[in-house]
Amino acid sequence: MELNPGKSFLKQKIKELKHQAYEKIQEITKLKNHQPAHERWVLAGSIERLETEHKRLLARIRTYEFYFAPVGNSPGQKQGITDLDISRARGYPIAQLYNGKLRKSGTRLLGSCPFHSEKSASFVVYPEGKGWHCFGCGSGGSSIDYIMKRDNLKFLDAVKFLIKQT
């Protein structure tokens, strides 16, 4: 099975990030082990900064690896989430996900935000762009973001939910 260019790029990026994370660990170890105990306090800020950078690298690696996580219910399934799956999920009409009443205003749909209480409609759905925004709380995004916020789901779970809806 041939990877699409996006996945090939991500695989390369993961490899680079893992190498950078390894280098950070080496640098941290060097600073911790090769300095006399009475001088370590001088380097505490540098060590802390390197540890923070290392944690950020690990988070980015997890984010990229998440892209290849298995999708579906079959236990032997090796297929990862595809760009097409994400596109289909993002393209799902938000108006169908919204549990309240939306009124048409030009090309937009207006309603009360489901994420906070309000008296006037500040929740806007853009059907042509498949997006939404609330001017009250500042939230917005695609249908994936909406499901993640509404149902308190992680990205993969939200994509799976929306794929099942289509």
- Predicted confidence pLDDT, tens digits, the chain (166 residues): 344 555 677 777 778 888 888 888 888 788 777 666 666 666 777 778 888 887 887 777 777 776 665 555 444 444 467 778 888 888 889 989 988 889 998 999 999 988 888 888 889 999 887 899 999 888 888 898 999 999 998 888 888 899 888 7
The amino acid present at 147, given as its one-letter code, is I
Residue 154 resides in a domain:
yes
- Cβ contact 124:132 at 8 Å: yes
Is the pTM for the entire model greater than 0.75? no
Strand order across the beta sheet in which 108-111 lies: 103-105, 108-111, 123-126, 131-134, 140-141
137 CB neighbour count, 10 Å cutoff: 14
The answer to whether residue 117 sits within a structural domain is yes
Number of domains in the chain: 2
Asked whether residue 75 is assigned to any structural domain, the reply reads no
Say yes or no: 62 and 92 in one domain: no
